[in-house]
Amino acid sequence: MSKLSETSVSTIASPKWWDWDERDIVSEDAENEVWQRLSTYTYEPNIKRYWDEKGLVCCNEGAVTDWIAGCFRQARAYFSAGNVSPLDIRPLLYYYGTTTLLAGLSALMQAQEPPIKGHGMKLNDDSSATKLSNFQIKILPEPNGALSHFTTCFSPESKLAHSGSWSLMEIFGSLPDLKADFKLCYPNTPIFCHAVEPIRMGKIVVERLSIEDLRQAHGDEKKVFPLIHRAEELYLPQWTENYLSLSPKLGQWKEVLSAGWVGLDGRKYLQLGHQKNKQLFMPHLLMFYLIGLYALGFLSRYKPQTWNPFVLQDKTGERLVIERFLSSAARNVPNFALDYIQQCRIHFIAPGADSRSPILTTQEIESKIASEVKKQVEAWKRQHFDSGASPIF
């Protein structure tokens, strides 16, 4: 078994995913583009180059590179098969694709095969569940369970292993790309991601959320602010008649720009935490996709008596949400994997679409100009004084 060096651990642990830079890539076919880039790691030289760049040492290079390459290839095959498969088996194929991809990714990032045994979660057998979204997934605190391992690798701060049970409803309600269909399908149900609208008035810049939206989802809009990811660190809140207005705290504007998630609709969403066991859990969206795919994969594979009526008749009326969940998983999971490899948040945008590059505030522009002027003056001084020329002042 390979060994992970001390340096490599620190390289992986920092920076946290919310500190990554944003990067836009123009592409007409984002899904294919992501897989093309991931396929780089199906070849040994590229894997070794990645380890060299990160300062990682692998004690069993041949076996581990084969493991990684195999995982990436299989994952792509599972997803490709899932894309053209009927709903009867699609969740299962996507779940296999996701676990295989994440296993390969963790091996790449840690330069060793992951010590995974079992799923690390369990679907509660609830025969009284009237909707698929009522099914609960219990997180098992097994250190070598797949979920625990992936949480440690990709979202360690979330401490997901101690979060207890999650309903599929909570999972769906946490994903920005499902929000519109989720609201339609499950009205007056808590939603854990909310679209924000950036507003600029002179020097004042705020991001605002609709109070009506928050009330519908949570009853009391005042309860929402403490649940927002890093809210206390980044924002100063004000509740106006129609909006929760969030002003970036002094010096936090750059952080605010990269806070939250950008949905496939191009809008920015703020993630809300889930309160469980008196703790607030805010895992990376990748974890939500993993848990959701596990539950749906399990239902389709081991509960055909539940899954078949749903597929054939949509008796619970949730088919749109679940299909949307699956398609967004197929689009987002490989994208998140690429984010982890490149340590930045990659957004594929259509040609001609507006770039989401940060808008600079006046202060930022002034500061950039000042620093450029300083640089030029320093260069000028070096050139004149160091060369022995007499100073003019």
Partner 1 sequence: MILEHRPFFNTMSTFSSNSSVQAAVFSTCKALWRSSEWSQLHTLVRSLHSVRDEDKRTAKDRSWVGNAAAKLAPRAQVLAYLLVDQEHNNLRQGPFDEPVSPSLSAPLSNEERNLLLVYQHQISGFNQACLAPLIEKYPNLWPMTNPLGGYIFENPSNNVQQEILPSENLKMITQAFSKHIAFKYLELDGVEILTSLNDEFYRSQMAPIFRRLQVVSPLDAPHELNEFFITTPFNDPRRIMIRRAIALLTLRLSLLNINQVLFQALHSQKLAMFTDENLVEVNADASHLTGHGLSLTFVMEPETCNLEYGDFIGFKIPQIENSQTHFAITYWTGMTMNRDIGLFGQIILWVVDEFFNPHSSLLANF
Residue 134 or residue 361: which is nearer to partner 1 going by CB? 361
Residue 247 or residue 335: which is nearer to partner 1 going by CB? 247
Q: Minimal distance in Å, beta carbon 241 to partner 1?
A: 5
Q: Minimal distance in Å, beta carbon 259 to partner 1?
A: 16
SS3 call for 267: coil
How many whole angstroms separate alpha carbon 308 and alpha carbon 216?
32
Tokens of 72: 């990436």
Q: Minimal distance in Å, beta carbon 100 to partner 1?
A: 43
As beta bridge partners, residue 196 has: 268
Q: Minimal distance in Å, beta carbon 24 to partner 1?
A: 27
Residue 238 or residue 383: which is nearer to partner 1 going by CB? 238
Residue 180 or residue 205: which is nearer to partner 1 going by CB? 205
Residue 7 or residue 238: which is nearer to partner 1 going by CB? 238
Closest listed residue to residue 171, CA positions, set 198, 140, 143, 192 = 192
286 by Cβ neighbours in 10 Å (0-12 / 13-18 / 19+) ranks as buried
How many whole angstroms separate alpha carbon 48 and alpha carbon 43?
9
Residue 240 or residue 376: which is nearer to partner 1 going by CB? 240
> Is residue 31 within 8 Å of residue 330, measured between CB atoms?
yes
How many whole angstroms separate alpha carbon 91 and alpha carbon 221?
35
Q: Minimal distance in Å, beta carbon 207 to partner 1?
A: 10
Q: Minimal distance in Å, beta carbon 250 to partner 1?
A: 4
Residue 29 or residue 233: which is nearer to partner 1 going by CB? 233
Pairing of strands 243-248, 204-210: antiparallel
Q: Minimal distance in Å, beta carbon 370 to partner 1?
A: 12
Q: Minimal distance in Å, beta carbon 208 to partner 1?
A: 7
Residues near partner 1 (CB under 8 A): 199, 201-204, 206, 208, 225-226, 232, 236-238, 240-243, 245, 247-251, 361, 363
How many whole angstroms separate alpha carbon 247 and alpha carbon 207?
6
Residue 20 or residue 239: which is nearer to partner 1 going by CB? 239
Q: Minimal distance in Å, beta carbon 222 to partner 1?
A: 10
Give the DSSP per-residue string, 287-351.
Answer: HHHHHHHHHHHHHHHH-HHHHHHHHHH-TTS-HHHHHHHHHHHHHHHHHHHHHHHHTEEEEEE-T
Residue 74 or residue 361: which is nearer to partner 1 going by CB? 361
How many whole angstroms separate alpha carbon 73 and alpha carbon 306?
32
Pairing of strands 21-26, 344-349: parallel
* Main-chain phi, psi angles of 21, to 5 degrees: -75, 160
Residues listed for the chain = 393
